[in-house]
Amino acid sequence: MADANCLFCKIVEKQIPSSIVYEDDHVVAFKDISPQVPVHLLIVPRVHIASLNDLTPVQSTLLGHIALVAKELAKTAEIDESGWRLVMNCGPHAGQTVFHLHMHLLGGAPMAGKMV
Ligand code: 5GP
Ligand code: ZN
C-alpha cells in the first residue's frame, strides 16, 4: 500500500529517519522537521492516502482515530489545558506540500490570529 515515491510512506516504513513519538497498527506520529510552534507533530495513517480528496468511506474511521491519538499526544505534551490545534491542508490553495494525508498537531504557545 506504500507509495515508493512518498516521503511519509518512507517515514512510516522507517526507510528514512524521523523522531517518532507514537505508533500503532493504524497511524504513526512524528515531530515536524520544521516546527512552527513548540509542539508540532504530524499524525499520518500507515496506508498511503494522498489527501482528503482521496479518502474513501471505509478509510474515514482513520480520522476519528487520529483525533483520539492527537488528544493523547496533547496530554503527553502537557498542552491539553493550554490549548492546541489540529490542521489538515488539502491541495494547493491550502498549502499542502506532502501528498500523504496528515494532521498537524500544534501547540505550546499562543497561536497568532485565528484562521477561522
Ligand atoms: P503540509 O504543508 O503538506 O500540510 O505539511 C507537510 C509538513 O511536513 C510540513 O510542516 C513540513 O515541515 C513537514 N516535513 C517535510 N519534510 C519532512 C521530513 O522529511 N521529515 C519531517 N519530520 N517532516 C517533514
Ligand atoms: Zn505515502
Q: What is the CATH number of the domain that holds 13?
A: 3.30.428.10
Please state, for a pLDDT cut of 70, what percent of the chain lies above it.
99
Whether residue 1 lies inside any domain: the answer is no
Q: Tell whether pTM > 0.85.
A: yes
27 pLDDT tier (thresholds 50, 70, 90): very high
Q: Which is nearest to 70 in space by CA: 104, 32, 114? A: 104
Pure H helices in the chain: 7-12, 61-76
Proximal ligand: closest to the CA of 44: 2
Q: Is 102 a catalytic residue?
A: yes
Whether residue 114 lies inside any domain: the answer is no
Residue-level pLDDT at 113: 81
- Mean pLDDT (whole number) for 9-35: 98
Whether residue 68 lies inside any domain: the answer is yes
Whether residue 49 lies inside any domain: the answer is yes
The x, y and z cell numbers of residue 67, run together, are 483525533
92 pLDDT tier (thresholds 50, 70, 90): very high
Residue 110 pLDDT more than 90? yes
Residue-level pLDDT at 1: 64
Torsion of the alpha carbons at 51, 15, 66 and 85, rounded to the nearest 10: -80
- Mean pLDDT (whole number) for 95-102: 98
Which of 32, 51, 66, 100 has most ligand 1 atoms within 8 Å of CB, for mutation? 32
Distance 77 CA to ligand 2 centre (A): 26
* Catalytic option among 26, 48, 93, 102: 102
Which residue range(s) make up the domain with 15? 7-107
115 pLDDT tier (thresholds 50, 70, 90): confident
Proximal ligand: closest to the CA of 12: 2
Distance 102 CA to ligand 1 centre (A): 9
Whether residue 35 lies inside any domain: the answer is yes
Whole-number mean pLDDT of the chain? 96
Total count of domains within the chain: 1
